[in-house]
Structure 1
């Protein structure tokens, strides 16, 4: 049996944890640089405001008129509360797989026999415990496969009568829930695939479950075939105990304000280079090549400008100093006087496992593993960028705009809530 625990409107719900004064108000959370809406609480959704990925400036007046509370993305707070939620859920199962910042799968083994208290009671206990200890509202769906657990989770939130908990442990419940789900509500079935299925008369999840898996594989793919089999209780999806190393690592971000100064562009590229270097070392890889780019905004009146720079290392590296030096060397190519830069980034490609790479006898590596390990250990203990390369600068004018940022209640000393009693 599998269980999927999913936080309701994660970012908006996190904003309400330490601020009870907004728990009964519509809350909307914005993306980087306060650009678009990325999350809205249930109250905001019922009011018809807070549609995802709508530019904030377009709905600013409507949100203000509705009395909505606006928040910038507080990633530090969300990550900490996510970990607390995962730790709480992990106590209720022998195995856990963290699927995303707001979702995790619990696995109870191949046996479908219910615990003494029953699956519904267990799911209810998990939900109540997470609310009591973390103050996050979650929905829990249980099923014999991950796809059925996803379907049950959908029912727990979207189908009347389930109230946050749904369990698919027999064919009666399976038919009841799947027949009330559109085929595009099934995990892995997107809108484009859904349109093709609709043309074939497959409108609901139950319709899809009753298809011939072999024919579906022939008409679509092995992934859709696996979905059909999972909807019928056959486990086909699984997760690896060890996450595979990334084949490419990128760090990109738009600026909080347009920059026209070469020095600030250098600082920004050095910051991204340091970020990707640390990620590269974390997965114990080496980069054979890197890409650097800088662009203006296509929405500015001055015209769109975009330039990139590609470099292949003679010896693969994961040393921050080597990667930053190439980012700095790209500046003459990327910088153009008069351009109002909106975004830049650094990417590492053609990655190799560090322990398996065969070095060239005639080209010596200039990396300093001990120095990089020292930097990483200090930053891991005392916080990111406690020690950093001076090329990043100290007067950065491109920091991400977060005008509506709430306190980082759990990760910053000065923001820790004070209780007066």
Structure 2
């Protein structure tokens, strides 16, 4: 048996964890630079607040209905996600964290001791709520795809109260008949339109198709999806996620950047982010791409990008920042109002199998980077930074409605007055 556990409107729910005063109020969370609505709480969903609509278009409507507005608080979300996944992991013998708010579970050694899957799902929900105050939905299925479908039913179909179980053909048909074909895991909007033209409108319609025929019409992925809907396990995950082949850090600016020092500060920050991700997955980069550009909606669009090859692969933040410092004069241009910038490590090698060069010694200081990572993990992101990151803050993204970083900053720890 498999399960998919995910949080209900995770970003919006996370905002309510340390602020009980808004737990029953509609809440929306905005994207970078407070641009668009990216998360809507169940209360706000009842007001038909659309996702991914620009905030400026909805401002008056949200104020009229007293909707709570929050900027994206990524530090808080990441920490609460880690806590949630830790709780969920206790209930299975194989866990695969699929995204920041979704986790697949497998119960190979648990099936003999679990008599009631519905009750077990409610136990998971209660434990997560008790320890993190995050509401979750739990879907059980005899394949990963059916567990995803059961999770959809648990959260969005009436009568399931947060938990749904697909353990036979009858329970599968009952739920799949109520699902659009595009609600099936792996079936996107474009593919859904093609399936609709073949009179395949519901998930149950897709389940009834011939797998081999679907493979000829579309792909092996659709074939496996049909087989999974019929109870045959075809999809699996690795015990350890595969290392990324490229790592990027990019972001648009809260205000237009017009001087070289601000641009350098932004790119140096991206260097630290990329270097940290490299170290986390045990990789090093041989090549770096650095870019910056103005807005396409303004006149005289300007864009520059450069490649930098390292003589020895690296994951040291300082080495990446020095490379940016060399490239910067070729990217910056006076008078340009820079809208976005970023860097990418695009040719990665494993640190474990990296072979050194006798004539080109590495400039990496692994102990120093390890100390920085440990301190930032213990005392909060950004406790220690590169000096070049500290030059200015004008380039940072706009977050006018940012809630406190309750769990990652000492200054933001909740205070209780008795």
Same fold at TM > 0.5: yes
Q: Does the residue aligned with 1:16 lie in a helix, a strand or coil? A: helix
Structure 1 residues 304 and 230, CA gap change in structure 2 (3 angstroms) = same
Further displaced range: 216-225 or 392-401: 392-401
What's the CA shift for 1:364?
3.8
Q: What's the counterpart of residue 25 of structure 2?
A: 25
Post-superposition Cα deviations, 1:147-200, rounded to whole Å, max 9, x if no partner, equal 000001111122222121110111111111111111111000001111111112
Q: Equivalent residue for 1:89?
A: 88
Q: Structure 1: any 5+ residue segments left out of the alignment? A: none
Post-superposition Cα deviations, 1:289-320, rounded to whole Å, max 9, x if no partner, equal 110000112233x4322111112223322232
Q: Residues 216-255 of structure 1: matches in 2 within 5 Å? A: 216-255=214-253
Q: Which residue of 2 aligns with 1:309?
A: 306
Structure 1 residues 337 and 123 mapped into 2: Cα distance closer, same or farther (>3 Å)? same
1:128 counterpart residue number: 126
* Counterpart residue number, 1:172: 170
Closer, same or farther in 2 for the Cα pair 1:419/1:317, shift >3 Å? closer
In structure 2, what is the Cα distance between the partners aligned to 1:64 and 1:303? 37
Residue equivalent to 2:281: 283
280-289 vs 226-235, which moves further: 280-289
Cα offset for 1:66?
A: 1.6
Which position in structure 2 is the counterpart of 1:42? 42
Q: Does the aligned pair in 2 maintain the 1:269–1:328 contact within 8 Å?
A: no
Q: Distance in 1 between matches of 2:375 and 2:68?
A: 38
1:395 equivalent to 2:395? Answer: no
5+ residue gaps, structure 2, are none
Per-residue deviation, 1:110 = 7.8
Q: Choose from 321, 324, 335 the match for 1:338.
A: 335
Take 1:237 and 1:136, find their aligned partners in 2: how far apart are those partners?
28
Question: How many angstroms does 1:111 deviate by?
Answer: 8.3
Aligned to 1:416: 413
Aligned partners of 1:152 and 1:168 also within 8 Å:
yes
Separation in structure 1 between the aligned mates of residue 275 and residue 369 of structure 2, nearest angstrom: 10
Residue 66 of structure 1 corresponds to 65
Q: CA deviation at 1:112?
A: 6.2
> What residue number does 2:100 align with?
101
> CA deviation digits over 1:236-271, x for unaligned, max 9?
111111111111111111112111011111111111
In the comparison of the two structures, how many residue pairs are matched?
418
Residue matched to 1:152: 150
Structure 1 partner of 2:208: 210
What secondary structure is seen at the aligned counterpart in 2 of 1:270?
Answer: helix
| Contact in 2 for aligned 1:254/1:342 (Cα 8 Å) | yes
CA deviation after TM superposition for structure 1 residue 277, in Å: 1.6
**In structure 2, C-alpha distance between the alignment counterparts of 1:129 and 1:373, rounded to whole Å:** 34
1:71 CA drift (Å) = 0.6
CA distance in 1, matches of 2:332, 2:81: 40
Q: Deviations over 1:64-123 (max 9, x none)?
A: 11211101111222222222222222222222221111111221118866723x111111
**Cα gap change, 1:120/1:401 in structure 2, threshold over 3 Å: closer, same or farther?**
same
Whole-angstrom CA distance in 1 between matches of 2:268 and 2:241: 28
Cα–Cα, structure 1 residues 330 and 134, in superposed 2: closer, same or farther, change >3 Å?
Answer: same
Cα distance per residue 1:332-382 (max 9 Å; x no partner): 221111111111001111111123233445444333334433433443444
TM superposition shift of 1:38 = 0.6
Distance change in 2, residues 1:178/1:112 (3 Å) = farther
| 8 Å Cα contact 2:93/2:109 also seen in 1 | no
- Give the match for residue 401 of structure 2: 404
Measured at CA, do residues 158 and 387 of structure 1 come closer, stay the same or move farther in structure 2, by a change above 3 Å? closer
Please say if residues 92 and 110 of structure 2, whose CA atoms lie closer than 8 Å, have aligned partners that are also in contact: no
Structure 2: distance between partners of 1:321 and 1:417: 35
The answer to whether the 8 Å contact 1:4/1:153 transfers is yes
Which residue is equivalent to 1:270? 268
Contact 1:112 1:144 in 2 (8 A): no
Other-structure match for 1:161: 159
DSSP-derived class of the 2:43 partner: helix
Query: In the aligned structure 1, how far is the partner of 2:43 from the partner of 2:387?
Result: 46
Per mean C-alpha deviation after superposition, the further-off stretch among 321-330 and 263-272 is: 321-330
